[in-house]
Amino acid sequence: MESLPNFSLLRPRSIAEAVAARAGAGEIRFLAGGTDLLPALRHGLMQASTLIDLSNVAELRGITSDREGVRIGAGTTIQELSAHPLVARDYPAVAEAAVAIAGPTHRAVGTVGGNLCVDTRCRFYNQSEPWRTANNFCMKLAGDICRVAPKADRCYAAYSGDLAPALIAHAAIAEIIGPAGLRHAPLAEIFTDDGIVYLTLAPGELLVSVRLPAAPGWRSGYEKIRTRGAIDFPLVGVAVALRCENGKLRELRVVVTGTDSCPLSIVGLDDLCALPLDEALTRLDKLVRKQVGPMETTLAPATYRRRVVPVLARRLINRLLPGVPA
């Protein structure tokens, strides 16, 4: 069995201390729940001379609300998020995504920030070091070509976090702090469609929280397809948020995970809301299939995953808006 490499461990007690520690020399990484980072270190997928354990930073934890919405600390555990009554009531897609993550023991220690910043995945990358060595590595680590698309000039490893699409569907805002101070940005903007450089966070920046604006009249849901009924990352995950009046769509958002190197917000949905529902769903299928770009990054064929996305979107709309044909 592969063992963890040696590293130093720092345990700051405030956000300021954590950011200051990150500015030190060497390969330094933030450690939240560790459910993704520690296995990656064990398999040689990442290196770290120092880990900054965030578990003692109370400022990063907790879920609070006011008239403007809900604030979710990045250090809040997935289990706490999945069980929070206000989240389940007003942002059900978020609660459904949380409870779909991994297994109970992972959710007990994994964090919101950790799931949002989870590394992209690929069947050529997420392997043991001997396996990767025998296959001459890949562009994402130590190699010079993408094994999924050998003629490509970029990595196609897929973003596979569950929370991001649900939060983005609810127009979440990220609170980020770093050496340059505090900033806010739409959560969707912290991701980029590149399997290697998949986050736009600057060196030393830390995701502190996400804020969900108040969502009166919105309904939402999340569903995923995975190899097993638990533990596994999504082969495809879809979040839908919609607002309706008199049984008719007025606003619609669809966000996909597991297909591209970033959470993918389907564009062109505004025009669908003026159409009869059966026609809107037919056009939605075409929009989704045209925009998602799954590659052979998992054991499931890309063609299967491309077909699953519109099925999940239609299923969710059917659940959220009674009367929509399945």
Contact between residue 2 and residue 42 where contact means Cβ atoms under 8 Å apart: yes
Q: What is the DSSP letter of 137?
A: -
Q: Give me the pLDDT at residue 24, please.
A: 84
Domain ranges of the chain: 7-52, 60-117+158-320
Q: What homologous superfamily is domain 60-117+158-320 in, according to CATH?
A: CO dehydrogenase flavoprotein, C-terminal domain (3.30.390.50)
- What is the C-alpha to C-alpha distance for residues 39 and 114, in angstroms, rounded to an integer? 13
CA 164 to chain centre: 4
Q: d(Cα 51, Cα 31) in Å, to the nearest integer?
A: 6
pLDDT for res 245: 84
Within 10 Å of residue 119's Cβ, how many Cβ atoms?
21
Q: Return per-residue pLDDT of the chain as tens, 326 residues.
A: 578 999 999 999 999 999 999 998 889 999 999 999 999 999 999 999 999 999 999 999 999 999 999 999 999 999 999 999 999 999 999 999 999 999 999 999 999 999 999 999 999 999 988 999 998 999 999 999 999 999 999 999 999 999 999 999 999 999 999 999 999 999 999 999 999 999 999 999 999 999 999 999 999 999 999 999 899 999 999 999 999 887 778 999 999 999 999 999 999 999 999 898 899 999 999 999 999 999 999 999 999 999 999 999 999 999 998 654 44
pLDDT per residue as tens digits for the range 48-62 = 999 999 999 999 999
pLDDT at 324: 47
Residue 21's contacts (CB-CB under 8 Å, 6 or more residues apart) are 10, 12, 28, 50, 52
Q: For the purposes of burial, counting CB atoms within 10 Å of the CB of 49, is it exposed (0-12), middle (13-18) or buried (19 or more)?
A: middle
DSSP string spanning 85-110?
HHHHHH-HHHHHHHHTSS-HHHHHH-
Residue 323: predicted pLDDT = 55
Q: What pLDDT score was predicted for residue 104?
A: 96
